[in-house]
Amino acid sequence: MDAPTLPPQEDRFYIELEFVQNLSNPKYLNYLAQNGHLDQESFLNFLKYLRYWKRPEYITHLIFPQCLAFLEALIENPGFRRELALPQFIEFVHQQQGTHW
């Protein structure tokens, strides 16, 4: 089987930009948790890779910078990852997010 090919560098930038910003959406985080993605070591490694968005040359492209707080919580806090599967926790996160806006 051939190895998957990567998209061109410019396309990859926009794909990863869109993905990292989706981490600011509690319902998307709930989807990831309920479908077991947050339990996969390979997915957690991908999240660690996305930390490059914290660098000054990348952070300026973010429209929803709170996604970086969620990124860190997903990487560093297993309890947070588990709680994301619970609808009541998602509602709480959504309310807190609205309070901060």
Domains, the chain: 9-100 (1.10.10.1340)
Q: What is the C-alpha to C-alpha distance for residues 32 and 23, in angstroms, rounded to an integer?
A: 10
* pLDDT value of position 8: 77
* pLDDT value of position 98: 75
Among the residues of the chain, which ranges form H helices?
Answer: 9-22, 26-34, 41-49, 56-59, 67-76, 78-83, 87-100
pTM of the model: 0.87
Spell out a b/e string for 49-74, using b for 16 or more CB atoms within 10 Å of the CB, else e.
Answer: ebeebeeeebeeebeeeebbebbebb
From the centroid of its chain, how far is CA 95?
Answer: 18
**In a structure prediction context, what are the per-residue pLDDT tens digits for the chain, which is 101 residues long?**
566 676 777 799 999 999 999 999 999 999 999 999 999 999 999 999 999 999 999 999 999 999 999 999 999 999 999 999 999 999 999 988 877 66
